[in-house]
Structure 1
Amino acid sequence: MNTVVHLSGPHRRGPDLQELVARVAFGDQDAFSRLYDAVAGPVLGLIRRVLRDPAQSEEVAQEVLLEVWRTASRYRPERGEVMPWVLTMAHRRAVDRVRAAQAAADRDQRAAARSHAPAFDEVAEQVEGRLEREQVRRCLQGLTELQRESVTMAYYRGYSYREVADMLGSPLGTVKTRMRDALIRLRDCLGVGS
């Protein structure tokens, strides 16, 4: 036994979107409310798939629906159905948001890189410093033991000439002479102009 179900009244279907858009173009707020109810879900769903951020998705969806309200008069039925027209606006707006966010992130990254960039080449500076220290060590080896000891105490340990003289048990004049001769030999060895 076959059961036939008869539907009474007209078939239940969604609102005629083209008609609603035409009415929205004339400022019909009730028509916009009905259009909003019909397209808001798909618009939000599409935008969420692009943005993946619920808060931003809702914001962009509102922007799109506001754009539908403002541009309803530009809709042309001969160019396509209402839903693809609205979803195209939604997709474009979502992609624009992604691009804007990426551009902002790129700008921030470039600014951060500039702010952390050293004012000089650190590697070259380190290599140069290491080479200079090696050259100074080599030149110090060319001094007499007393000269090297005097220079080391005065310039590397921070003692005054008087303190160096006291620690070495030498007259201050002798220490000054040693230091002067040692500095001349170091200058010549290092190739520093006088």
Structure 2
Amino acid sequence: MLSLMTTDSSPDLDERAPASAAELLARVSQGDQVAFGQLYDQMAPRVLGLVKRLLIDHAQSEEVTQEIFLEIWQSASRYDPRLGGASTWIMTMTHRRAVDRIRASQAGRDRDLRIGIRDRAVEYDQVSETVEVRIENERVGRAMSRLSELQRQAVSLAYYGGYSQTEVAELLKIPLGTVKTRLRDGMIRLRDEMGVAS
């Protein structure tokens, strides 16, 4: 009775004995989905563990683990048992993929940093330019306030209003020569007030 039980149970034990990673990879290379599921169950904890140690971030680690198993499915036929164990082949692939993700993430952070610095510089330049324009406008405003009322009228119309000298003469109802004199004298006074070399 004992020998009968042993004989009956031996085939069951063989059937339940897990296949090695190398055997499973060989079957996966033939498109065996069941073998792929078994390989996944066997190797996923180790693969995820290594990826997580390198990447830290759990969500990224899961994503990279999926990429690794996709690569295993697609490239199982490239595994050569003469060059090393199946587990070693898978873990080497795992390490490479994780390092690639780290490099890609670092490159992304570097790119974002460069863009951020560039954008900050552009923003800074715009602020700087705005401040310079405001300061210059204040200087011009102070200098304009030191002109005579008649000079200020002529300069404002000609340079801020965009009117020609003839149009300024018509608007102010004064001779063209008088406009030219006021503009000349006003510009000399502005130049002196603002400290601009002639």
The TM-score, its normalising length taken from structure 1, stands at 0.69
Distance 1:187 1:127, change over 3 A: same
AA at the equivalent of 2:109: D
SS at match of 1:9: helix
* 1:88 aligned partner: 91
**Number of residues paired by the alignment?**
174
- Unpaired runs of at least 5, structure 2: 52-57
* 1:186 aligned partner: 190
1:1-194 matches, cutoff 5 A: 8-10=8-10, 11=13, 12-17=16-21, 20=23, 29-30=26-27, 36=36, 38-43=38-43, 46-47=47-48, 50-53=60-63, 57-64=65-72, 66=75, 69-75=78-84, 83=87, 85=88, 88-106=91-109, 108-110=111-113, 112-113=115-116, 116=119, 117-118=121-122, 121-194=125-198
Distance 1:68 1:37, change over 3 A: farther
Structure with the higher fraction of residues in helix conformation: 2
Partner deviation per Cα, 1:143-178 (whole Å, 9 max, x = no partner): 000100111111111111111111111000001100
* 2:54 aligned partner: none
In structure 1, C-alpha distance between the alignment counterparts of 2:80 and 2:99, rounded to whole Å: 18
Aligned-residue RMSD, C-alpha: 3.6
Asked if 2 retains the 8 angstrom alpha-carbon contact of 1:153 and 1:164, the reply is yes
Distance 1:74 1:165, change over 3 A: same
Asked if 2 retains the 8 angstrom alpha-carbon contact of 1:51 and 1:98, the reply is no
* 1:79 aligned partner: none
AA at the equivalent of 1:60: I
SS at match of 1:14: coil
Distance 1:52 1:59, change over 3 A: closer
Asked if 2 retains the 8 angstrom alpha-carbon contact of 1:151 and 1:179, the reply is yes
